[in-house]
Amino acid sequence: MRRQTVLRQLGLRDYGRVWQDMREFTAGRNAQTADEIWITEHPPVFTLGLNGKPEHVLRQGDIPLIQTDRGGQVTYHGPGQLVVYLLMDLRRLAFGPRQAVSLLENAMLTALGQYGVRAAARADAPGVYVEDRKIGALGLRISRGCSYHGLSLNNAMDLTPFSAINPCGYAGMQVTQLADLGVRVDIHELAVPIVHHIIKVIES
């Protein structure tokens, strides 16, 4: 019987440190290693995906920019944004990359629905949107059949830094957050329906 998924509440943690920890965990895991979900927030940081184009960073200012190894283009992380990392053995679950992406999108859609927010995923631009405004982003890295990185969902944060980038490589892409939609929720509470959805799928 496969081990139960391990949950880790990291709190506010430096992006570079968590990224290194994810890589080390993935490199050291084996077929018996339990999957893990890490819940965190990051101090202000821009991250550029593997195929990210630097020109999508319009104004860096004093916010650090990290070239990372996830999929996708450029995004912003900051306090008040929920970040959930999914360290999952895709081979063991018989999941393909598209299924992993859909799992993260559906987890965000389920959580938003519980707070009365109507959102949708888009085939042409991964992530979750409220009308035409992006509220949730995702990006994964798959190494040795295992995933790391995950999703970010805008809760109650300073959205200003998003104007300094083309979010996820889309010029003029607008963003939103739960607080601007009239939803006030603690970030730890927001994580509950997301984690519940993920565990329900991967442990079924």
CATH number of 185's domain: 3.30.930.10
Share of the chain above pLDDT 90, in %: 87
Can you tell me the mean pLDDT for 21-26? 98
- Distance (Å, rounded) from C-alpha 161 to C-alpha 141? 24
In a domain? residue 120: yes
Can you tell me the mean pLDDT for 176-202? 97
- Distance (Å, rounded) from C-alpha 77 to C-alpha 64? 11
In a domain? residue 43: yes
In a domain? residue 17: yes
15 annotated ligand-binding residue: no
With 70 as the cut, is the pLDDT of residue 2 above it? Answer: no
pLDDT score of 1: 46
150 annotated ligand-binding residue: yes
**Within 13 A of 93's CA, how many CA atoms are on the CB side?**
26
45 annotated ligand-binding residue: no
In a domain? residue 57: yes
- Distance (Å, rounded) from C-alpha 187 to C-alpha 167? 22
Q: Provide the annotated active-site residues.
A: 168
pLDDT score of 42: 98
Can you tell me the mean pLDDT for 146-173? 94
In a domain? residue 72: yes
71 annotated ligand-binding residue: yes
Q: Across-strand partners of 138?
A: 151
In a domain? residue 142: yes
Can you tell me the mean pLDDT for 88-108? 95
Can you tell me the mean pLDDT for 194-201? 96
Q: How confident is the model at residue 61 (pLDDT cuts 50, 70, 90)?
A: very high
Total of domains in the chain? 1
Can you tell me the mean pLDDT for 187-197? 97
Q: How confident is the model at residue 124 (pLDDT cuts 50, 70, 90)?
A: confident
In a domain? residue 56: yes
74 annotated ligand-binding residue: yes
Q: What is the mean pLDDT of the chain?
A: 94
77 annotated ligand-binding residue: yes
Q: Which domain holds residue 47?
A: 6-202
Residue 96: C-alpha distances to residues 58, 89, 93, 142, 192 (Å): 34, 11, 9, 10, 25
pLDDT score of 165: 94
Identify the residue whose tokens are 């550029």.
Answer: 48
With 80 as the cut, is the pLDDT of residue 36 above it? Answer: yes
pTM score: 0.96
In a domain? residue 1: no
